[in-house]
Structure 1
């Protein structure tokens, strides 16, 4: 049996194409959710053509984790509920494969659970490293832990596979290069769905700035917001902004920043957000996931953070600012020079992943 353990919206987005490919081949699987995120998950799975989780590993699966203070209670609930269910989980997995994704707390928990119930652990999006365990934290640490626990590592490119060279050659360990991240498969699905999006200017840029280390650094956040406002005089910008970011903008004195050139939009479901991204002329973000999507689409993108564990698009259409305002300014002055052809249809990583899962478990995923 193939079991997927996921809990965040991003994890579900990136395992969804693998699940869809399993469905196409008639291979059985299970989805176990830690409910690390609750809001938006059902809608996202529906958008991507994936059924809802078969099992929740927490007792109150609709709660989710919205703040750091909620993590201990969620972890306690998850631990107690999972331990009570171990005999059933062991029987359901049937010494098959437990697949986890990425770098969240759920990734680590799923890998430990897989080991505990005697299954092989497969890590999708394996081998990413920023070079500093402190940034991004705890994501970088989570990846390193799962790197020690996984039996099958699905590395997006040869660069990530090289980061796993200490695992290559070990008994029972397999490193597979998928040539791209499963996000390209998810993007193709979103492109075909053509979800509704707000009415926007014919040409615009997209802004998403939400990482804790940026938005809670008053001066750094103020500086980038000032640059965004200046750019909006040249090209309209759409800024995705939740309630917490709205409160911070007001606290920092930017409560009146928005107008017909700088347009605020509340956080959207996956397909609706992708409908905006697919039309954007440029992107300013601090998101590693959005970096990967822009790399595949060829959209000019400034990643405003000090480190990134992702290398897709760097030196082409992606600029890592390193939090250097001069680098950001240069990108904003010359963003159109970074446009590249889309690579969205060039790679099919989910097919390669399912090829391996099928080989490891048999044609019916038994």
Structure 2
């Protein structure tokens, strides 16, 4: 069997950021496969359709664990299921991966699992969005630990900017390891691919509004911190309408914390939607408040004023320009909300093509 390129992914964010790499490979006539850990299930089918990605060739979990991971307590059973699946399919996995390339993305549990599978079965491991660090082992947890583990497992590190290249200076000295600067996050390619085909959403949104997404474990599992930011945003929504996107895990926390009454006509709650619908909402937004690193990169490319409500960020894209890191401080967030219009910058979406750089390097590694 010929050597193959296999993407191992499990979350919607990973799919969004590997999709343009898949598309670039397809344009060049290169074979690749996609295997899923089903770390997320909510919205995955819609995301696959929106991004023109086929269903995974191999599901690395059993049916009982294919419903996604929405809480920390589900992780051990999910990991055990992956272990059983890998053992069951070891002959197929070995034949597919021997001397091939495994591509993983970001900082999830799936990123670590995919890297380990690649290593164990004799493939080169390429890490997309490599080298991001907050410098704090426990913030965000477990993402920062995941990044450091994958930093020791990958052979090809695709770092978005020179900052991430510098973070990988030590691993770059190891034999057989290469660090490549792609110039930007691959999310800019995904944005560019959908930009010209977006349609108005089915939601009756105000002419001007702000977009909110808050979903990270370290925030939503902290009752006081989650409540404080929601009430600060509710207060601001009296001046400027806000739309918040809510997923399954956030719905559970809102119910548990008795915070469902925070929302009203000014601070409107919408269930998480497909990728294209989300991009329509994002590109129509006047400002963004989020704890998402992916959305930070998108806003940096689009020039939209954005507050990152986290104590630390693993990247500096947009910070000091149209993006403000709040340090998870409510006073800092409120200050941003009072002067958000001063943060707007011109978009730079068309300046970078990171997926082409990644595929160029894969071709080079393949032929070495």
TM-score grouping bracket, smaller chain normalisation: over 0.9
Counterpart position of 2:129: 125
Q: Would you say 1:212 and 2:201 are equivalent positions?
A: no
Q: Does 1:340 align with 2:325?
A: no
**Which residue is equivalent to 2:231?**
226
Cα distance in structure 1, aligned partners of 2:139 and 2:324: 18
Give deviations 1:160-203, integer Å, cap 9, x for gaps. 01000001232111100000000111111232331452121111
RMSD, aligned α-carbons: 1.8
In structure 1, distance between residues paired with 2:115 and 2:249: 32
* Structure 2 SS opposite 1:187: helix
Helix, strand or coil for the counterpart of 1:193?
A: coil
- Alpha-carbon offset, residue 39 of structure 1: 2.6
Q: What is the TM-score when the length of structure 2 is the normalising length? A: 0.94
CA contact (8 A) 1:154 1:175 kept: yes
Structure 1 stretches lacking a partner, 5+ long: none
SS of equivalent residue, structure 1 residue 284? strand
Gaps of 5+ in 2: none
In structure 2, relative to structure 1, the CA distance for the partners of 1:35 and 1:254 (3 Å cut) is closer
Aligned pair partner of 1:94 in 92, 95, 98: 98
Q: For residues 81 and 324 of structure 1, do their structure 2 counterparts lie closer, same or farther at Cα, with a shift above 3 Å needed?
A: same
Q: Greater CA deviation, 253-262 or 21-30?
A: 253-262
Q: TM-score, normalised by structure 1?
A: 0.94
Aligned pairs, how many? 363
Cα shift at 1:252: 5.0
The equivalent residue for 1:163 is: 167
Cα distance 1:170–1:246, how it changes in 2: closer, same or farther (>3 A)?
closer
Displacement after TM superposition at 1:344 (Å)? 1.0
| Residues 22, 63 of structure 1: alpha-carbon distance in 2 compared, 3 angstrom cutoff | same
Q: CA deviation at 1:246?
A: 4.5
Matches of 2:81 and 2:256, distance apart in 1: 35
The answer (yes or no) to whether the contact 2:140–2:218 under 8 Å persists in 1 is no
Asked whether the equivalents of residues 38 and 59 of structure 2 are also in contact (C-alpha less than 8 Å), the reply is: yes
Asked if structure 2 preserves the Cα contact closer than 8 Å seen for 1:203 and 1:236, the reply is yes
The reply on whether 1:5 has 2:24 as its aligned counterpart is: no
Superposed structure 1 runs of 4+ greater than 6 Å apart? none
- Segment of structure 1 superposing worse, 140-149 or 67-76: 67-76
Partner of 2:26: 23
- Distance, in Å, in 1 between the alignment partners of 2:67 and 2:257 is 31
Q: Secondary structure at the match of 2:92?
A: helix
In structure 2, C-alpha distance between the alignment counterparts of 1:285 and 1:107, rounded to whole Å: 22
